Amino acid sequence: MYVVNYSGLQRKETWVIWFLFFFWLPFFCVYICNFVMNLFPLLPEAFKGNKQIGVIGWGSQGPAQAQNLRDSIAQVKSDVVVKALSHLMKHVLLVLLKRVEPWEIFGRLFLAVTSYAAKPTGPTLKER
């Protein structure tokens, strides 16, 4: 029978946690940060053809992610505009609560995004 001790870790188990926390985690974070920083010059190529990006997220998540993307794009001096569209989540909730057809979900979101954008790139559902 296996007994779980909830009072804390045993002495033989703590060295693993300390090793991971003090040696492996900092090395891993530095490695990942260096890898990601090498990809920054590729951002303009990744967003080539896009003039505006809308970020949809729950609560404070959308504006925070939009700010992170905006800072990254500004760092490489690109002309893409990033906007936080967190207010569009009410359309998603409305559709989920009413259990509307899936095609109507995309229709409502498409109308909301194109009405918010300065210049829609394609025909909206109202024009059809």
Write the pLDDT tens digit of every residue in 6-24.
555 555 566 666 666 677 7
Residue 33 lies in a domain: yes
Tell me what pLDDT residue 115 has: 65
| Segment 97-120, tens digit of pLDDT | 666 666 666 676 677 666 665 554
Number of separate domains in the chain: 2
The reply to whether 23 and 75 lie within a common domain is no
How far apart are the two ends of the chain, measured CA to CA in Å? 69
Residue 13 lies in a domain: yes
The reply to whether 55 and 20 lie within a common domain is no
| Segment 63-79, tens digit of pLDDT | 787 788 888 877 777 76
pLDDT average, residue stretch 46-51:
78
pLDDT average, residue stretch 47-61:
74
The reply to whether 19 and 74 lie within a common domain is no
Residue 32 lies in a domain: yes
Q: Confirm if 112 and 120 have CB atoms less than 8 A apart.
A: no
The reply to whether 31 and 76 lie within a common domain is no
**Beta-sheet pairing, 52-55 with 81-84:** parallel
Provide the whole-model pTM. 0.43
Residue 24 lies in a domain: yes
- Does the pLDDT of residue 52 top 50, yes or no? yes
Structural domain containing residue 18: 8-38
- What whole-number distance in Å separates Cα of residue 25 and Cα of residue 44? 31
The reply to whether 34 and 81 lie within a common domain is no
Computed over its alpha carbons, how large is the radius of gyration of the chain? 23
The reply to whether 55 and 98 lie within a common domain is yes
Looking at residue 82, what DSSP letter applies? E
Residue 78 lies in a domain: yes
- What whole-number distance in Å separates Cα of residue 69 and Cα of residue 63? 10
Residue 2 lies in a domain: no
**H or E stretch at 108:** helix 102-116
Q: Residue 26: count other Cβ atoms within 10 Å of its Cβ.
A: 10
